[in-house]
Structure 1
């Protein structure tokens, strides 16, 4: 079809068992003005045949056959081939609920300042076996407006990649996915936010985000915890330079080994630590590489220092936010959660 309003881009690799359901979910949308650019990334199974079969049945399906280059190359190839005003990302093992494209496009139509929109997602895995992933989904579903997305960007990826829709002009202005030793979807989001792209989410579950054991985020080192902290630290350091009135000095909440290891990455960018803060009396009063470990009650008040919370224990982020808010500190002005 010519000049569709929406282009759904879908990298596909050895997904013959799931891509049909993904395509069916798109063909069941409440709007019809879209295309699906499905890039077969050199699959060795029957993926290409499935794509060809769907293309014969519906000319909105546009298969692109490519040599195997990985998900970044396939995603960028799909986006470069997209012709719609709005570009959508979707994975070949997920399912879009019927009103996804309609609701997300309506958000973009109604607010010309928005460059990217997501949606709340439905966790498609086993909540008992994959509790960490499920809790992450629950957390990201609470971040709906630009301020919440922006101020929580350094905790984790606040807008799941398969849920996004963005204006094609954003791609032209800020570039697509970059390849490297980091999660390309998180890097794109951090880069676009840094450049001022406004984001929001539809307040509805519009995507089933499945969690198969073969998902790249479970199996490739570029998506492991260390990779996330490397890329987030790079962008966090630049954010602090622009927004921390006490730059380059910060106060670190969390004195445990893991918290210190992750915070210490900032030192490579010239950030200085005034102190660590903790609740554990066994740590309080000691020094770590010359930096004092103080009681949480000694955290500076509003306007007296900028705090970064590196405590990642479940529930601790909310507890620390409540503590700092109770002292009159403001999120984004006096502190940020970064774990």
Structure 2
């Protein structure tokens, strides 16, 4: 196996109580040719002192201050300081499987450029993991085991931010951390997809993902649902929407309404469909809600589905199948 230098980019802010576990999991990796670029995003606790203590003992660990503000700027700062041939991210409150770097680097060596090494994730928390996160973990790991992550990219972020690895040239060609777009991990995932990178299947748990009330994804406005929806719509319109085909939105819940508002603001025509008898025939934002059977009247429609219920999604999938339509070509689940 080639002895690639792996650059591990770690933005950190006020995570002192978890940093030792994180750093210990890196130092004890079976694969040892790595560098850590740990960027302090203006911490108010003793996080920096914790990392600097490790840096004094291990020259592979480099600590710098964020040259700007926020996680994207911190990633940019880390990337500009890096020297690696392979790249990965790490969250300062998480824990690596001891063979994570070895497995990912080996996968990339075997499959070559144009690929993303991914791995299974496991949530953990001192207070227990909620059902929503358990469902997300199960869904994500199922995709990762087959390497078909991009097949459901519009539902949620299909590549966890701290559990991927790529060749530097692929990261460069995807724009690395230049775009100032949140959520930054989901945006990068879309850019991997847009560039045509292929996920390498992996059925091993390589990363332990810590959940707690003050983690950034729970507290920052940049990770609110409206940011996710806007990002999904942006890439759908860029990568998949065919303006020659009629567009439909299926669902009139909160996400369906938010999506309808976005389309109206962008002057993009659409038909609004639902399966709720109480809403069919009503007008919302000047748009009539029609029964989903209206799809039979449209010629080669494209549909965005905002219905989250799993049983309802199965029914909807069967409905599209009977129409001879295909996922990620004719219909797209946005939740």
Please say whether Structure 1 and Structure 2 have the same fold, judged by a TM-score greater than 0.5: yes
Once the two structures are overlaid, the 10-residue window that deviates more, 323-332 or 7-16, is 323-332
Corresponding position: 1:110 with 2:107: no
For residues 218 and 172 of structure 1, do their structure 2 counterparts lie closer, same or farther at Cα, with a shift above 3 Å needed? same
- Structure 1: 5+ residue runs without aligned partners? none
Question: In 2, distance between residues paired with 1:141 and 1:215?
Answer: 22
SS at match of 2:50: helix
- The equivalent residue for 1:140 is 140
CA contact 1:107–1:202 (8 Å) conserved in 2: no
- The equivalent residue for 2:51 is 51
For residues 253 and 64 of structure 1, do their structure 2 counterparts lie closer, same or farther at Cα, with a shift above 3 Å needed? same
- The equivalent residue for 2:37 is 37
Question: In 2, distance between residues paired with 1:264 and 1:247?
Answer: 21
For residues 37 and 182 of structure 1, do their structure 2 counterparts lie closer, same or farther at Cα, with a shift above 3 Å needed? closer
Deviation at 1:309, TM superposition (A): 0.7
For residues 58 and 310 of structure 1, do their structure 2 counterparts lie closer, same or farther at Cα, with a shift above 3 Å needed? same
- The equivalent residue for 2:151 is 151
Corresponding position: 1:272 with 2:269: yes
CA contact 1:127–1:134 (8 Å) conserved in 2: no
Deviation at 1:239, TM superposition (A): 1.8
- Structure 2: 5+ residue runs without aligned partners? none
SS at match of 2:43: coil
Corresponding position: 1:260 with 2:247: no
Question: In 2, distance between residues paired with 1:75 and 1:29?
Answer: 22
Summarize deviations over 1:269-294 as a string: whole Å, max 9, x none: 44321x33222222234454564433
- The equivalent residue for 1:206 is 206
Taking only aligned residues, the RMSD between alpha carbons, in angstroms, comes to 2.7
CA contact 2:251–2:272 (8 Å) conserved in 1: yes
Please list, as runs of the form range in 1=range in 2, the aligned pairs for 1:180-219 lying within 5 A after superposition. 180=180, 182-219=182-219
Q: TM-score, normalised by structure 2?
A: 0.88
Question: In 2, distance between residues paired with 1:239 and 1:200?
Answer: 22
Please list, as runs of the form range in 1=range in 2, the aligned pairs for 1:1-339 lying within 5 A after superposition. 5-66=5-66, 69-125=69-125, 130-144=130-144, 148-178=148-178, 180=180, 182-241=182-241, 244=242, 247=244, 249-256=246-253, 258-273=255-270, 275-288=271-284, 291-300=287-296, 304-339=300-335
Summarize deviations over 1:289-317 as a string: whole Å, max 9, x none: 56443333443499732221111235433
For residues 332 and 64 of structure 1, do their structure 2 counterparts lie closer, same or farther at Cα, with a shift above 3 Å needed? same
Once the two structures are overlaid, the 10-residue window that deviates more, 201-210 or 86-95, is 201-210
Q: TM-score, normalised by structure 1?
A: 0.87
Summarize deviations over 1:143-198 as a string: whole Å, max 9, x none: 22898332322211111111121211123223233565631221222233223333
Alignment: residue pair count = 333
Question: In 2, distance between residues paired with 1:86 and 1:302?
Answer: 48
SS at match of 1:18: helix
